[in-house]
Amino acid sequence: MSDDQANRMRRFWDLPDEVDDPLWAARRRLSRATRGLMEACLRYDGEAAAMDAAAAQVEALVADLPLGPSALDAFRAGAYFERPLEYTDRSVLMGHSNPFAPPMEPTFEEGISVCELVLPERFVGAPGMAHGGLVAACFDQICGHRVAMAGAGGFTTRLTITYRRPVPVHVPVRFTCELVEERPNTLRLAASCARVAHADETLAEARATFVLIPPDKARALISGLAQQS
């Protein structure tokens, strides 16, 4: 991969704090509001009538917002490459434009990808604990970020998680990831999660392997999906 391609890969993850595009900004605002709605859906414990009234308002709002193209549709039409950061901003864990996302905001410090966040109620498995599958997803995301910071692009081929203690919700936690082995076609990574206030107490660890795929082959793979749909 050329230096220019590597820099583009890194920039693809560099989401702006503020956006000028009115629709993008509105999508972020709606996502923030929806995160609050999701929290209320899980934690409101008042009158059924209030919940029914809220549901009716949401149903009316959804009816006024018809669905546009999916990410795959945008890829097929070329819009995905015209506005790459906007689509990164819709990703399931990092996206400020995705109401499910916490969102994660990874940074790169001295060769290590780092992300501090508070996992919300919608990530609960057992009471007070984040679902193990969602913890694994966060590990996959932070490992993907470290791969991108290496100037590479690829896909996860193996992700192994060791859970040592429950990962709490509503408490600041930190995910970190470092590169441990680099081969011509693969990268191997090690990641960990701990409470921000107790960095020496590891909650979970991960080992990941990513296969590296040149941009043209990645596009060909996704194009194959687009043709099948």
pLDDT in tens, 44-78: 999 999 999 999 999 999 999 999 999 999 988 88
pLDDT digits (tens, 9 = 90+) for 107-151: 999 999 999 999 999 999 999 999 999 999 999 999 999 999 998
- Separate counts of helices (H) and strands (E) for the chain: 8, 6
What is the domain range of residue 151?
A: 3-228
* Burial bucket for residue 159 (CB in 10 Å: 0-12, 13-18, 19+): middle
**pLDDT band for position 221 (cuts 50, 70, 90):** confident
Say which CATH number the domain at 22 has: 3.10.129.10
What CA–CA distances, in Å, run from 70 to 79, 153, 213? Answer: 11, 22, 23
pLDDT digits (tens, 9 = 90+) for 144-175: 999 999 988 889 999 999 999 999 999 999 99
Q: Which residue has the higher pLDDT, 220 or 194?
A: 194
Which pTM was predicted? 0.92
| Residues in Cβ contact with 158 at an 8 Å cutoff, skipping those fewer than 6 apart | 207, 208, 209
Q: What is the mean pLDDT of residues 68-91?
A: 91
